[in-house]
């Protein structure tokens, strides 16, 4: 059987979500609206946190970068998806496909450890409030953020090195709406067991270590909250981490469903729905979750609007 690799072909074909023109138009409008809300919501979150000095705390430092990551990896996927919904060719170059995969894996892995850092921040704030300013110093926050990006870079580099060893059959058709690992592995002619194992180990490490950190943090948080005597005190303590817990549950649920399984169990329909959720929908939900459920952000919005109103007059 003839095979080819990245050196002797120029493009892939992304089949997308559906062939029905009517559904494509509906999805285009829906995804465009979601992307607009994503961009505006995350930019607004970053801007509000930057402008309001009362939000210059470790939690909002991490939240700023969460908004940046959500905005970035949505931008890596959504514009090309929108383009393919309106065109019949649906072509993506090898360079574009590799770049999309590399950047997406980097940002998604970095977000996993950023969410873990946010959970640790909530643990220190609730379980060790007196030592919070010392433990969560600017230096520590910067180190945690740097580690998140370093681990993301390591994961994406390993993923790219593994994918570069694959030889493909003559089919260039990717049965997905973006360049993801499983549908590309499905095009391989050679045995991909070792490649799958390496990718699974690194993806599993990223998900499990960050998830264990988050789980351990919230077990300690829950234990501390249960020791609080007053109901109002319990509610106040839990409200400080409720938004983060909701965001973590949604994000990790979609990732685990999609990636922590062998490619043989890859299901086009189910995996595409999950992929749409964590690549397009979740980046829109995060700024809503962290703003609508957060009194400090609402107060900051009012202060910023009031400040601009006074300056404008």
Q: In what order do the strands lie in the sheet with 91-93?
A: 91-93, 11-14, 173-174
Q: Interhelix angle for 282-292 vs 21-51, to 10°?
A: 40
Q: Compute how many other C-beta atoms are within 10 angstroms of the C-beta atom of residue 100.
A: 20
Q: For residue 25, what are the contacts with CB-CB under 8 A and spacing of at least 6?
A: 85
DSSP string, 194-262: HHHHHHHHHHHHHHHHHHHHHHHHHHHHHHHHHT--SHHHHHHHHHHHHHHHHHHHHHHHHHHHHHSS-
C-alpha dist (Å) from residue 223 to 44, 90, 120, 164, 227: 35, 52, 15, 47, 7
Distance from C-alpha of 37 to C-alpha of 26, rounded to nearest angstrom = 17
C-alpha dist (Å) from residue 54 to 47, 48, 101: 13, 10, 37
Host domain of residue 209: 11-312
Q: What is the pLDDT of residues 83-130, one digit of tens each?
A: 988 887 788 888 888 899 999 999 999 999 999 999 999 999 888 989
Instruction: Indicate whether 185 belongs to any domain.
Output: yes
- pTM: predicted TM-score of the whole model, two decimal places: 0.86
Instruction: Indicate whether 1 belongs to any domain.
Output: no
Count the domains in the chain: 1
Instruction: Indicate whether 187 belongs to any domain.
Output: yes
| Residue 69 structure tokens | 């990551």
For residues 98 and 48, is the Cβ–Cβ distance under 8 A? no
Return the C-alpha torsion angle 294, 298, 301, 302, nearest 10: -160
Among candidate residues 109, 102, 97, the one with its CA nearest the CA of residue 172: 97
Instruction: Indicate whether 220 belongs to any domain.
Output: yes
Distance from C-alpha of 36 to C-alpha of 312, rounded to nearest angstrom = 27
| Residue 63 structure tokens | 């939240």
| Residue 163 structure tokens | 């994918």
For residues 207 and 260, is the Cβ–Cβ distance under 8 A? yes
Distance from C-alpha of 175 to C-alpha of 270, rounded to nearest angstrom = 13
| Residue 268 structure tokens | 């086009």
- Give the 3-state secondary structure of residue 272: helix
The confidence score (pLDDT) of residue 309 equals: 60
For residues 172 and 9, is the Cβ–Cβ distance under 8 A? yes
Q: Compute how many other C-beta atoms are within 10 angstroms of the C-beta atom of residue 256.
A: 16
Instruction: Indicate whether 41 belongs to any domain.
Output: yes
C-alpha dist (Å) from residue 85 to 39, 75, 76, 203: 20, 16, 16, 30
Instruction: Indicate whether 86 belongs to any domain.
Output: yes
The confidence score (pLDDT) of residue 182 equals: 80
For residues 77 and 283, is the Cβ–Cβ distance under 8 A? no
The confidence score (pLDDT) of residue 72 equals: 94
- Give the 3-state secondary structure of residue 112: helix
Instruction: Indicate whether 2 belongs to any domain.
Output: no
Instruction: Indicate whether 18 belongs to any domain.
Output: yes
Cα angle, residue 57 at apex, residues 51 and 58 outer, rounded to 5° = 125
Q: What is the CATH number of the domain that holds 115?
A: 1.20.1070.10
What string of pLDDT tens digits covers the 313 residues of the chain?
444 444 445 688 888 888 888 888 999 999 999 999 999 999 988 988 888 888 888 988 999 999 999 999 899 999 999 998 888 778 888 888 889 999 999 999 999 999 999 999 999 988 898 999 999 999 999 999 999 999 999 999 998 888 888 877 766 888 888 888 888 888 888 778 888 888 888 888 888 899 899 999 989 988 888 887 777 767 776 777 777 787 888 888 877 776 665 555 555 556 677 788 888 888 888 888 877 666 777 777 777 777 766 555 4
């Amino acid at each position: 059987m003839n095979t080819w690799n990245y050196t002797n072909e120029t493009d892939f074909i992304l089949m997308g979500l559906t062939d029905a023109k009517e559904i494509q138009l509906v999805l285009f409008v829906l995804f465009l609206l979601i992307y607009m809300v994503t961009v505006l919501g995350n930019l607004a979150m970053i801007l509000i946190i930057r402008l309001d000095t009362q939000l210059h705390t470790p939690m909002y430092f991490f939240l700023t970068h969460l908004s940046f990551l959500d905005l970035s990896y949505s931008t890596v996927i959504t514009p090309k998806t929108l383009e393919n919904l309106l065109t019949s060719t649906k072509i993506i170059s090898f360079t574009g496909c590799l770049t999309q995969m590399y950047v997406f894996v980097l940002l998604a892995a970095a977000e996993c450890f950023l969410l873990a850092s946010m959970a640790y921040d909530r643990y220190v704030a609730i379980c060790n409030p007196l030592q919070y300013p010392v433990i969560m110093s600017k230096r520590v926050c910067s180190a945690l953020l740097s580690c998140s990006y370093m681990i993301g870079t390591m994961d994406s580099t390993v993923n790219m090195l593994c994918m570069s060893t694959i030889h493909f059959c003559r089919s260039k058709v990717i049965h997905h709406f973006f360049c993801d690992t499983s549908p590309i592995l499905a095009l391989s002619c050679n045995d991909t067991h070792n490649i799958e194992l390496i990718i699974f180990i690194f993806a599993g490490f990223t998900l499990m270590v960050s998830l264990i950190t988050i789980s351990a943090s919230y077990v300690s948080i829950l234990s501390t909250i249960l020791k609080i005597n007053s109901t109002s005190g319990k509610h106040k303590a839990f409200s400080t981490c409720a938004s983060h817990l909701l965001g973590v549950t949604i994000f990790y649920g979609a990732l685990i469903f999609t990636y922590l399984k062998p490619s043989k169990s890859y299901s086009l329909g189910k995996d595409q729905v999950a992929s749409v959720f964590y690549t397009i929908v979740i980046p829109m939900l995060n700024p809503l979750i962290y703003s609508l459920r957060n009194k400090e952000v609402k107060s900051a919005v009012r202060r910023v609007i009031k400040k601009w109103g006074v300056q404008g007059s």
